[in-house]
Amino acid sequence: MPKPLAVIGIVVGESSGDTLGASLMLALRLHYPEVRFIGIAGPQMLALGATSLAPMERLSVMGLVEVLGRLRELLRLRAHLVTALLHEPIDLFIGIDAPDFNLGLAARFRAAGLPTVHYVSPSVWAWRQGRVKGIARSIDLMLCLLPFEKAFYDQHQVRAEFVGHPLADQLPMHTDTQGARRRLGLDVDQCVLAVLPGSRRGEVLQLAPALKESISRFLGQHPDWQVVIPAINAERYAQIQQLFAPLPEFTSGQIKLLSPALGPSVGREAMAAADQVWLASGTATLEAMLLKKPMLVLYRFHWLTYLLARFLVKIRWFSLPNLLLGRKIVPELIQNDITSAHVLAASAMIMQQREELQRLFAAEHGQLRQEASRRAAAAILSLWSERND
């Protein structure tokens, strides 16, 4: 029998990682009930007893250029975590997403002789594929949420396991749309547009001007609809309120800003209540797909980040539904293509294709249902056992 797993270092950088981390904590505690978790955690992980040495928000940075502006702060934070976690000491390190930050941490812990795991593959298959060599030097195990990711790592002799996605396990195959509307205090018989401008400050700033115009025009065409905008935390609530308050539809209540006090799944509830969703690219697109919702995916980078990405990215699409199915099934608008005219045209198109999208999304949901947290925990414990037998 391997020695007990007592302390795990774990670092997450945003809300989706917090969800994964909380689910993984529960799965690991089925085997080691007394194991402690320390590093950087979000509210869901904190509620389960994780210790956070810094606010998760400090890692929520988007884009190449934006990271450069905070590079010194991030390097200081990384050095602090290395010192603190080696002093603890931890038995094993798990980085969840935030690859540029976490893989650097993992390299230091691996050099110190600790087993290292990264949960959620970076998009190395999409751009900067040379990073796989650094990944191989930094980690002992990559946990992949998507099936095509494991195939990529197998080609490069990096130990990897496809575990599926916990969201596919958590979300039911049938979405209770009217139940979600009741829980949010919405009219169950009125059509709903959910708008998710992002979980980071920079994302919201980039998308807000185009979204404000698009929402106003949409409600002008569809006055019987209601719009909900969920805020994932207090900072985003204040930011969105300030940005959207000038709209008369906001004042009249036709646009409803949902408070984070409704719970950590307020974004998911908003999408569940919706007839269609407009959202920033990211994990939320996977949630929308699992909820079987027609969606329009938007993303706008800092102009220099976009210029650099054009030369580095090796994929045709950037949203997870399109990547999973290997073809463009949901519309994507990026950078200067995000205009109210394009948004409204795409919105009309996805409503016409509603039934076909729901059929495709249901099939993909079934593929991703793998009891992900259990499989991830089993792969981590297998690595631990090998190192300690």
CATH superfamily of 177-368: Glycogen Phosphorylase B; (3.40.50.2000)
Alpha-carbon span 79 to 276, nearest angstrom: 44
Radius of gyration in angstroms for the set of CA atoms belonging to the chain, rounded to a whole number: 21
Pairing of strands 51-52, 276-280: unpaired
The domain defined by 7-164+370-388 folds into Rossmann fold (3.40.50)
**Count of Cβ atoms closer than 10 Å to residue 134 Cβ:** 15
Residue 372's pLDDT is: 95
Residue 24's pLDDT is: 96
CA distances from 278 to 82, 268, 306, 324, 347 (A): 39, 13, 21, 19, 8
Q: What is the pLDDT along the chain (389 residues), one digit of tens a residue?
A: 678 899 999 999 888 899 899 999 999 999 999 999 999 999 999 999 999 999 998 776 544 444 555 678 888 999 999 999 999 999 999 999 889 899 999 999 999 999 999 999 987 755 566 788 999 999 999 999 988 899 889 999 999 999 998 889 989 999 999 999 999 999 999 999 999 998 888 888 888 889 999 999 999 999 999 999 999 889 999 999 999 988 989 888 899 999 988 887 899 999 999 999 999 877 789 999 999 999 999 987 654 554 445 544 555 666 788 888 788 889 888 867 889 999 999 999 999 999 999 999 999 999 899 999 999 999 999 999 999 87
Residue 62's pLDDT is: 46
CA distances from 294 to 101, 238, 352, 353, 381 (A): 33, 28, 10, 8, 39
Alpha-carbon span 85 to 142, nearest angstrom: 21
Q: Where in the chain is the domain with CATH 3.40.50.2000?
A: 7-164+370-388, 177-368
pTM summary value: 0.71
Residue 66's pLDDT is: 47
Residue 161's pLDDT is: 97
Alpha-carbon span 40 to 46, nearest angstrom: 9
User: What type of residue sits at position 362?
Assistant: A
